[in-house]
């Protein structure tokens, strides 16, 4: 079956008592067993049946099963946010005295998790240029625990070569972990590109229009420690498992994921092409650049197409002449919403420098190439003429 069919028709592990077509929301904490022996089997992990909803819940399992069917992964774990998923996978793989090789270009909280939180537990983050393979080789030592990256960095839009990085990682016996939030797994296959574990903020494309927070660890089974630690240790001890209601909404989100994603990507491509044509034109002098992976002019365009296929996702960044022009632009928007988040059904605009990275030092922002002149746009499902019109009026009046 093709992915769109699987997305709608993944079977339930047990027949529903009433023949419900959608997986019911099992808002329950605990489950009753027929016998003491059945209880023992579930509690000791001999059978994978729910005993307590901190570690397993039928609605969440069904959501995980759909992701498993769509990705071909060995194990999928759903968490209550993308950050919870990232935290769980990193502490699965690393430990005191170990280091994580990663990029200077990371989502702000992921950078903070590694550089502050994990640092307090004796883990070192090595923030390097992952597009420079010589630098990657040089950064690895006997204490390296994994290579972690985002497939398209946010907001810098850098793309690293996954095949090349996985070759280096595997030569040293290390897992390659990729945050694939920017391009959904229905349009490309990370495992074929050498990724061992994917993490996704399912808050974004999957949730079906910003309905709920969620995160996924998608484990391709190449490093058995991932399943052992998460399933039998962290779900129990950390309590970051997804809630059944979020899983229900995100299961519905998966059903429409492909349609929404294709339209949002197409809108982003059309909009960025139209804005690109306006660069340097009279009335448009405040606009200094358009950064979109789907534009042929983007330095990572070819690599992105080779890895992720023809679509470029729904995130665009634009640069304006200075920070005050960015504030004016955001204040003038009438349709595009002044809000964080990515891949809602509605379009969103944010100035990352003063918000997501607002409490970072100037030194950190410079190191991460987060510029005061950049605006990040997440393109939604609106008509592209209306989006272009809003950007045009906001720029011309600023």
The nearer residue to ligand PLP, 145 or 156, going by C-beta atoms, is 156
| 294 lies in the binding site for ligand PLP (CB under 6 A) | no
The nearer residue to ligand PLP, 150 or 319, going by C-beta atoms, is 150
Site size toward ligand PLP, by CB under 6 A: 14
Tell me, residue by residue from 216 to 245, as one string, x for binding to ligand PLP by CB under 6 A and - for no binding.
------------------------------
* Cis bond before residue 155 (omega within 30° of 0): yes
DSSP-derived letter for residue 354 is G
Q: Are 171 and 219 in contact (CB under 8 A)?
A: no
Name which position in 112, 154, 250, 311 contacts ligand PLP (CB under 6 A).
Answer: 154
| Least distance in angstroms from the C-beta of 30 to ligand PLP | 27
Name which position in 23, 69, 76, 83 contacts ligand PLP (CB under 6 A).
Answer: 83
| 246 lies in the binding site for ligand PLP (CB under 6 A) | no
- Report the relative pairing of strands 176-179 and 197-201 from DSSP bridges: parallel
Name which position in 82, 208, 312, 313 contacts ligand PLP (CB under 6 A).
Answer: 82
Name which position in 156, 190, 203, 374 contacts ligand PLP (CB under 6 A).
Answer: 203
Residue 24 structure tokens: 């019911």
Which of helix, strand or coil describes residue 128?
strand
Dihedral sign computed on CA atoms, order 17, 20, 22, 25 = negative
| 131 lies in the binding site for ligand PLP (CB under 6 A) | no
Contact stretch for ligand PLP (CB under 6 A) within 27-35, 37-45, 76-84, 119-127 = 76-84
| 190 lies in the binding site for ligand PLP (CB under 6 A) | no
Q: How far is CA 318 from the centre of its chain?
A: 21
| 194 lies in the binding site for ligand PLP (CB under 6 A) | no
| 201 lies in the binding site for ligand PLP (CB under 6 A) | yes
* Residues 6+ positions from 156 with CB-CB distance below 8 Å: 105, 368, 369, 370
Task: State the Cα–Cα distance between residues 92 and 177, nearest whole angstrom.
Answer: 12
| 211 lies in the binding site for ligand PLP (CB under 6 A) | no
Nearest-CB residue for ligand PLP? 82
Q: Which helix (H) or strand (E) holds 378?
A: strand 374-378
Name which position in 49, 150, 196, 198 contacts ligand PLP (CB under 6 A).
Answer: 150
| 378 lies in the binding site for ligand PLP (CB under 6 A) | no
| Least distance in angstroms from the C-beta of 178 to ligand PLP | 10
Residue 130 structure tokens: 């992952």
| Least distance in angstroms from the C-beta of 145 to ligand PLP | 19
| Least distance in angstroms from the C-beta of 24 to ligand PLP | 25
| Least distance in angstroms from the C-beta of 253 to ligand PLP | 13
| Least distance in angstroms from the C-beta of 127 to ligand PLP | 16
| 250 lies in the binding site for ligand PLP (CB under 6 A) | no
From residue 324, give the alpha-carbon distance in Å to each of 101, 184, 284: 36, 34, 16
| Least distance in angstroms from the C-beta of 135 to ligand PLP | 22
Dihedral sign computed on CA atoms, order 90, 91, 97, 98 = negative
| 287 lies in the binding site for ligand PLP (CB under 6 A) | no
| Least distance in angstroms from the C-beta of 353 to ligand PLP | 15
- Report the relative pairing of strands 215-219 and 75-79 from DSSP bridges: antiparallel
Task: State the Cα–Cα distance between residues 272 and 293, nearest whole angstrom.
Answer: 10
Name which position in 81, 94, 156, 211 contacts ligand PLP (CB under 6 A).
Answer: 81
Contact stretch for ligand PLP (CB under 6 A) within 78-86, 137-145, 287-295, 319-327 = 78-86
Name which position in 175, 184, 215, 294 contacts ligand PLP (CB under 6 A).
Answer: 215
| 249 lies in the binding site for ligand PLP (CB under 6 A) | no
Q: How far is CA 314 from the centre of its chain?
A: 13
| 198 lies in the binding site for ligand PLP (CB under 6 A) | no
Long-range contacts formed by 229-238: CB under 8 A, 24+ apart: 229/92, 230/75, 230/77, 230/88, 230/89, 230/92, 231/45, 231/75, 231/77, 232/45, 234/88, 234/91, 234/92, 235/54, 235/55, 235/56, 235/77, 236/54, 236/55, 238/84, 238/87, 238/88
* Phi/psi-derived region of residue 239, left when phi > 0, alpha when psi is between -120 and 50, beta in every other case: left
How many CB atoms are closer than 10 A to CB 314?
Answer: 31
Residues that bind ligand PLP (CB under 6 A): 81-83, 107, 110, 150, 154, 179, 181, 201, 203, 213, 215, 342
């Amino acid at each position: 079956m093709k992915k769109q069919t699987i997305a709608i028709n993944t079977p339930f592990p047990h027949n529903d008592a009433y023949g419900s077509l959608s997986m019911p929301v099992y808002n329950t904490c605990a489950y009753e067993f027929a016998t003491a022996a059945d209880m023992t089997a579930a509690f000791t992990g001999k059978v994978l049946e729910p005993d307590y909803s901190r570690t397993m819940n039928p609605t969440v399992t069904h959501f995980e099963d759909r992701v498993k069917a769509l990705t071909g992964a060995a194990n999928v774990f759903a968490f209550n946010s993308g950050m919870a998923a990232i935290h769980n996978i990193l502490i699965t793989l690393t430990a005191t005295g170990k280091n994580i090789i990663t990029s200077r270009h990371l989502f702000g909280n992921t950078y903070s998790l590694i550089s502050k939180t994990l640092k307090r537990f004796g883990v070192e983050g090595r923030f390097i240029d992952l597009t420079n393979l010589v630098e990657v080789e040089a950064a690895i030592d006997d204490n390296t625990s994994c290579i972690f990256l985002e497939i398209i960095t946010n907001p810098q839009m850098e793309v690293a070569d996954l095949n090349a990085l996985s070759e280096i990682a595997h030569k040293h016996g290390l897992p390659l972990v990729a945050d694939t939030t920017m391009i959904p797994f229905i349009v490309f296959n990370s495992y074929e590109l050498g990724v061992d574990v994917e993490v996704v903020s399912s808050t974004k494309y999957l949730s079906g229009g910003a309905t709920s927070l969620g995160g996924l660890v998608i484990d391709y089974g190449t490093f058995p420690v991932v399943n052992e630690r998460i399933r039998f240790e962290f779900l129990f001890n950390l309590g970051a498992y997804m809630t059944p209601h979020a899983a229900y909404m995100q299961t519905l989100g998966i059903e429409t994921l492909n349609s929404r994603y294709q339209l949002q990507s197409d809108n982003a491509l059309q909009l960025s092409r139209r804005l690109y044509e306006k660069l340097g034109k009279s009335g448009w002098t405040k606009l200094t650049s358009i950064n979109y992976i789907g534009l042929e002019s983007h330095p990572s365009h070819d690599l992105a197409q080779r890895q992720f296929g023809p679509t470029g996702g729904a995130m665009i960044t634009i640069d304006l002449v200075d920070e005050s022009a960015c504030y004016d632009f955001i204040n003038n928007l009438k349709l595009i919403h002044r809000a964080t988040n990515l891949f809602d059904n509605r379009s969103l605009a944010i100035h990352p420098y003063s918000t997501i990275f607002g409490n970072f030092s100037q030194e950190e922002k410079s190191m991460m190439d987060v510029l005061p002149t950049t605006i990040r746009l997440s393109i939604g499902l609106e008509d592209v003429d209306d989006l272009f019109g809003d950007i045009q009026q906001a720029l011309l009046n600023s």
